[in-house]
A and B are shown apart, each in its own frame.
Chain A
């Protein structure tokens, strides 16, 4: 392809170049031709005027000479007329005085008598005889006895001579040179030279280098072919012009030189004047100009070609780049499609594995339908496989949503404590199953509530954790840490740093670079046994990016992996709940110093002074010291897993020293149900689930402050809602009654609307601010919940923006999304959970 384009470009470049050269050359040549045509025209005009001048000159001269002879004849004195001798003498003297070489009588019979001089004879007496009859004065050419050409001037003059003969004319003779000198035909300096010829081509005046007798011979001998015209053609043209007595002009070549020829007839004679102008100098100038214009044209051509070449080169380069880009894109597309098909084959393998299990287990179960133990076992395995399959499918769906750009983020109130608690509870069984050590830390939590997408935040942490669990062998350890720090994006935001660290198999440097790409899994034997889609990290990365955060990974093969996610989330306004506990002194025992310090700081913020230590032994020492000076700690927080003496042992020891008075709480990120009995035996009063948020500590410690305060607090949220009036849109009476019963117990006043239309009407007819909120079922006859919400939001009332909470048995995220799109504030799933509903209402009321 690339070659074809290169070939095409080269070929077209060459074609265009050749075309340019030809066009410019033709232009140059054309101009040249035009030039020489113009020069010819100028030459013709010049030569015509030159010939005319010479003709005029010739006419004047011949007129003068002819007049002289006529005067001579007419002025013969009468006395001398009859005396032959006297007449001859007088005529001779007079003619000599006027410079004639000879003078002759011309008799009627055509004979001539010479009066003096050589006496030239007519070369051809016929024309003279003819003009004699007409009575015309003319000049003719003749030859003297020496054989030289002479000019004869005949003037008809009838006179009876003394000897009795009748003289028809007087003929005077002049040398040819006289005419040529007078006409300056042989001026060396002149650009032009001329001949005088007779009608038959023979020369009268031969100037320049002419030596032949006839000009016609000269034409045939020295004219060269020019523009396809042969010397014969010229000759024919000249002859024709002479015969018709017209002027004739042409260009010819002689001795390789272009010359201009101009012929015109001479007056007072039968002669022709032939003038020739060699172009020589003129030609040089013209040719010079021609060359110059051609050169200029070629220069233009070269310039244009250069520009063209530059454009071509540029285009070629651009084309090349484009091709390279295209190639790159194609390669990427191929790569993507390859990894997709690889993914597909992996996927089908991954899907087939649980499917096989499901099919196989179903078969086994059917075969052993009466063995309930066996069936139960099979069902358990089927459930596990189904769950796994569902996970795979969810991942693929998520990824396709991401790839088509359909994933959106919600902004809602997130309680970090709730998220951490739920994650810990999800992860615990998995960690336990693989017998791994699991620890959760939180540090410097300044804002427990933030705004963001809790589902996606959960997904990020779960993905990281499930990977950590997956790729960490039994007995390894996994750590989840959450920090808060000042966000560089402003005071209304807080930077959250999530760290997930494991001591697993780690990954290769090569793989680390591709970990966030879709459909990649480390392709080595180590991970082949571990199922997964290879989408988890790509999804995680995408979510983190969409949240404007950053995810990094550090890993060493065989040592473990550490992921860090940094997110800047909006702080949610902290509920002004004064979480203050009595002025206690507490001891915190944990092997992680940072956790101790952070916990002590959290405790300080709820009004408790606390001390900390890193192991059970020193804790026992500190407690003993305090006990001795009767200044016991009010509460002791013990970590379960401690180096050396563990939490339970330490508690046993402390109880031995302190008795039963002081509450000792065990904190743990694990499910403590298994050790609960043992712990209680050892004297543990209660448990605190890690991570220890401020609120975790507050609510965890609250029971030890004395009963009254606790009950007061339990009641408090319900009291907040009493007296509020709710409109409940619900088509089913039974459901309505249940809602009324449950919500009524919270002190809420409720009114019932049987469908969306009634709900809308009731709201419209109520005074402004009468209802505090609307609970909206979605599937109702007449008008459904979406339409009702739209209609209410469209009303022109100050309270048209009141909180509307959707209640529906559908909990698909699309349905929830649709509720929000229709202007509802929140969604609760049926069956209505009183606590959840109360929390939602509290948020909006």
Chain B
């Protein structure tokens, strides 16, 4: 499984990220590093605690990371969520948070698959 396959699996834009980061080494490093990122946990707990301010920041951070890594699918759902939470809770926020959760799982799954294939 190549990086490109991994990007296809997680719904990202490989061409974009490799143009920006310029080397597969860096892309690989950061993609693997994504698994360690705690933003999604933060989002999950803050949503559960109804701390929507913190949840907004978490969604926003996920969006930023995804933009940096060109994870298009997760980036889009987190972007929509951050828009929905920008001024506090809105009715669509819960649904969008589930979507982000789902997209995150797909993304993390794809990266793990890539990691295993490499090993």
Which of B26, B65, B82 has a CB less than 8 Å from the CB of A734? B65
The answer to whether the Cβ of B57 comes within 8 Å of any Cβ in the partner chain is: yes
Which chain A residue lies CB-closest to B79? A809
Question: Which listed residue, A735, A779, A834, touches B65 by the CB 8 Å rule?
Answer: A735
CB pair A737 B30 closer than 8 Å: yes
Q: Mark B19-43, 1 if CB is under 8 A from A, else 0.
A: 0111000100010011011010000
Partner of B64, one of A735, A737, A742, A745: A735
| A window 706-744: CB within 8 A of B | 731-735, 737-738, 741-742
Contacts of B80 in A (CB 8 A): none
Contact A809 B60 (CB under 8 A): yes
Minimal beta-carbon separation of B43 from chain A (angstroms): 12
With contacts A809-B60, A809-B64 known, is A734 near B33, CB below 8 A?
yes
**B70 and A733 contact, CB distance less than 8 A:** no
Q: Does A391 contact B (CB under 8 A)?
A: no
Residues of A close to B60: CB separation below 8 A = 779, 809
In the bound complex, what is the Cα–Cα distance between A613 and B81 (angstroms)?
Answer: 60
Q: Which of A53-61, A397-405, A793-801, A825-833 contacts B (4 or more CB under 8 A)?
A: A825-833
Contacts of A475 in B (CB 8 A): none
User: Across the interface, which residues of B come within 8 angstroms of A737, CB to CB?
Assistant: 30, 33
**A834–B21 CA distance with the chains assembled, in angstroms:** 9
Q: Is A360 interfacial (CB 8 A cutoff)?
A: no
CA distance A777 to B63 in the complex (A): 13
Q: Are B21 and A741 in contact (CB under 8 A)?
A: yes
Q: Is the CB of A833 within 8 A of B20?
A: yes
B61 at the interface (CB under 8 A from A): yes
Q: A734 touching B20 by the CB < 8 A rule?
A: no
- CB-CB nearest in chain A for B25: A741
**Is there contact, CB below 8 Å, between A734 and B37?**
yes
Q: A781 in the interface, Cβ–Cβ < 8 Å?
A: yes
Q: Taking A732-B61, A779-B61 as contacts, is the C-beta distance between A742 and B21 under 8 angstroms?
A: yes
Instruction: Write out the residue numbers on chain B whose beta carbons fall within 8 Å of the beta carbon of A779.
Output: 56-57, 60-61, 64
B40-92 CB contacts (< 8 Å) to partner A: 54, 56-57, 60-61, 63-65, 67-70, 79, 82
On whether the beta carbons of B21 and A733 are closer than 8 Å, the reply is: no
Query: Which of B26, B34, B63, B67 contacts A741 (CB under 8 A)?
Result: B26
Instruction: Output the nearest chain B residue to A778 by Cβ-Cβ distance.
Output: B60
Minimum distance in angstroms from A757 CB to a CB of chain B? 15
* The one of A731, A734, A780, A808 that contacts B68, using a Cβ cutoff of 8 Å: A734
Give the Cβ gap from A261 to chain B, nearest Cβ, in Å. Answer: 107
Residues of A within 8 A of B65 (CB): 732, 734-735
If A781-B57, A831-B70, A832-B68 touch, does A732 touch B21 (CB 8 Å cutoff)?
A: no
Q: Which residues of B contact A781 (CB under 8 A)?
A: 54, 57
Name the CB-closest residue of B to A832. B68
Say whether, besides A779-B60, A809-B67, A733 and B20 are in contact (CB < 8 Å): no
Find chain A residues with CB under 8 A from B37 CB.
732-734
Given A734-B68, A831-B68, A831-B69, 8 further pairs, Cβ under 8 A: A732-B61, A735-B61, A737-B33, A738-B30, A808-B64, A809-B67, A809-B82, A833-B20
Q: B: which residues have CB within 8 A of A? A: 20-22, 26, 30, 33-34, 36-37, 39, 54, 56-57, 60-61, 63-65, 67-70, 79, 82
Q: List 29 A-B contacts (CB under 8 A).
A: A732-B65, A734-B33, A734-B68, A734-B69, A735-B61, A735-B64, A735-B65, A737-B33, A738-B21, A738-B69, A741-B26, A741-B30, A742-B21, A779-B56, A779-B57, A779-B61, A781-B54, A781-B57, A808-B64, A809-B60, A809-B63, A809-B64, A809-B67, A809-B79, A830-B68, A831-B20, A831-B68, A831-B69, A833-B20
Closest 3 A/B residue pairs (Cβ): A831-B67, A809-B64, A831-B68
